[in-house]
Amino acid sequence: MISKVAAVATLLAAALGNAAAQEQVLNLYSARHYSTDEALYSNFTKATGIRINRVDADDAGILARLKAEGAASPADVVLLVDAARLYRADVDGLFKPVKSKVLEDAIPVQLRAPATADGTTWFGFSTRARVVVYDKIKVKREDVDTYEELADPKNKGKVCLRSGSHPYNLSLFGAVTEHLGEQKAEAWLKGLVANMARDPVGGDTDQIKAVGSGECQVAVSNSYYIARLMRSTNPEDRKLMERVGIVFPNQQSWGTHVNIAGGAVAKNSRNTAAAVKFLEYLASPEAQNYFANGNNEWPTAKGVKVSNPALTAMSGGGEFKAETIPIATVGANTVKVQQMLDRVGFK
């Protein structure tokens, strides 16, 4: 005969087993390596009861893992931080198209994948502008207020850039190619190479510091790196930002290039409904404001206003003219851009 204690233990174990089975878990593969995003995930869990199990890697690592895992992949949601990588993953069939009126109403059409009869595969949830940083003492603002001028002979020996093959630059170059056409874009890239003060090295923050130290006089950076320095309490960072000027290029023409961080439902997700719910949450005003204030990114959802003082100060009031070409087209151009880089000797 089973004792009362054993019976209770059996019932308790069964209850716990049922609770565990009923617990919803969302497997997230994320290239967003920002500690400030932790609140995004915990707030989603509090609101929905869905626990997030996160795997962190860079964009390339996540795509390689998804391909290696194939149909056995446990991933439900994929977050990447570059338009070219989102485009490539889509072409490789790693995403599942979804239909969501919430997402379609919130995210501008140029900041998401082209829709098909089956739905849309990926959506951009935040943007970062690719802006020009210059030495206010040695360079006139009007000499660097377009991307085209970075390749002008007047800026010979002044320019610092990170590797041309880095996704942030590939996306910028892909946008310029769309605006200028392939022939003119390749000539522009050749001019960039001719104007460099040194070989490409380091990340965006290194380029800003190189301008501040006098190693070069002009550089290009994602806007959130600049905002971090503007919000820093480090005296050296504040001194640096007093030395350098910031310009949003091409305000009188096509607008400043913006890249995106975006998300998609993984092709082999076994929890699609929860995955879509998470993407819809990322488009909510609460999450969008967190992108702006937590990692100094601009929200993509319509009607969400920026309250980050660094972003407001940087862009002269929080508003600037951004390019409107489809970000998917920018991603598609990066293959031909890489070939151009090889031909002009851009390392």
The encoded tokens of residue 319 equal: 């508003």
Helices and strands, counts by H and E, the chain: 14, 10
- Of 177, 123, 121, the C-alpha closest to 332 is 177
Contact 308, 292 (CB under 8 A): yes
Q: Is 33 annotated as a binding residue?
A: yes
Q: Using a CB cutoff of 8 Å and minimum separation of 24, what contacts does 134-138 make?
A: 134/211, 134/217, 134/218, 134/219, 134/244, 134/245, 134/247, 135/211, 135/212, 135/214, 135/217, 135/218, 135/243, 135/244, 135/245, 136/243, 136/244, 136/245, 137/243, 138/217
Q: Is 134 annotated as a binding residue?
A: no
Q: Is 166 annotated as a binding residue?
A: no
Location of structure tokens 């338009």: 83
311: how many CB neighbours lie within 10 A of its CB? 24
Which residues line the annotated binding site for Fe cation? Answer: 33, 224-225
Which residues line the annotated binding site? Answer: 33, 224-225
